[in-house]
Amino acid sequence: MTGLEDHLHGLWLPLVTPFQGGALDERSLRRLTRHYSTQGIDGLILGATSGEGMTLRDAELERLVAIVRDEMAAGRRTLPICLGLSGADTSRLKDRLDETADWPIDGYLIASPYYVRPSQRGLLAHFETLADHAAWPLALYNIPYRTSVNITNQTILRLAEHPNIVGMKDCGASREQSIALLRDRPKEFRVLTGEDANYFEALVDGADGGIVLSAHVETATFAAVYAETKRGNHDAALARWHEVADLTRLLFAEPSPAPAKYWLWRCGLIDSPEVRLPMVEVSSELAAAIDREIERRTKVAA
């Protein structure tokens, strides 16, 4: 697929990476891909934060992409794929762009450099260098509470002028900044929220969609929130949002993606809730709370 900017809207799923016995669980990955390909999502992010990308070896990441694309090719629906990349070394990220240039993807989601806390001029040069070099379009990932540096709107708007930078995942944690960006951005520059708990309000504010971990659960409802909002049916969208708003808190009650993996395991979509250190599986208390919520929702649906 080409033209990432044409697909960067709606509900995107940052797919979890299933593990079992310390290895990539390919059977569960195929099951996940088949399942979500039939749901109301508009694209997949692979190997980013929710996919525990920083723990994946290069060969595992390549295999991950190949399996997902293979399963989609065998099914009835092909979704766009963005590969999550991160790092604090611009030169090394350029190498990763070269190494992945012929992978069956549609673009990249690239987080700000973490730990080093570059200036805005440094961020501008970093992303422009990567965009100049990338074979595929890229979306920015602004998440200052993880990277310790915020990409200001002034810098984002400069980067939006680059023909190979087509949008961003907004986890800036400032509604004021987000609203100003949505007001001032070029029309073709896509902004998707990455803050699950703020999904509805971001759509109301004018975001083009969301990259929402919580949409692993009750996917159709999250998709309906987007669809109703875009139709201007805010009351209907709010009603659907109330059905899932509590999920966004439960699934982030402990470090993500462990709660979501536990839920998916309990529902049979993956064969193990395993995560990789330094992540750990959910506590017994949260596991019990998730079990209760699964049981409650099962009874409501019956």
Was 45 annotated as part of a binding site?
A: no
CATH superfamily for domain 4-301: Aldolase class I (3.20.20.70)
Cα-Cα-Cα-Cα dihedral sign, residues 100, 106, 107, 109: negative
**How far, rounded to the nearest angstrom, does the alpha carbon of residue 280 sit from its chain's CA centroid?**
20
Domain ranges in the chain?
4-301
Catalytic member of 36, 108, 141, 262: 141
Residue 169 known to be catalytic:
yes
Cα gap 90→84, rounded to integer Å: 15
Count other Cβ atoms within 10 Å, centred on residue 32: 24
pLDDT averaged over 10-residue windows placed end to end, the chain, 302 residues = 82 98 98 96 97 97 98 90 97 98 97 96 98 97 95 98 98 94 96 98 98 98 98 97 98 98 98 98 98 95 77
Question: In this predicted model, what pLDDT tens digit does every residue of 28-40 receive, in sequence order?
Answer: 999 999 999 999 9
Find the catalytic residue in 94, 115, 145, 169: 169
- Torsion, Cα 153 158 160 162, to 10 degrees, reads -160
Q: Which residue has the tokens 């799923």?
A: 13
- Establish whether 211 is an annotated binding residue: yes
* 224-266 confidence digits (pLDDT tens): 999 999 999 999 999 999 999 999 999 999 999 999 999 999 9
Q: Which of 11, 80, 16 is nearest to 222 (CA)?
A: 11
In degrees and rounded to multiples of 5, residue 294 shows phi and psi of: -60, -45
114 catalytic, yes or no? no
User: SS3 of 109, please?
Assistant: strand
Q: To 10 degrees, what angle do helices 284-301 and 258-266 make? A: 50
CA distance 209 to 194: 9
Do 46 and 81 meet the contact criterion of CB atoms below 8 Å apart? yes
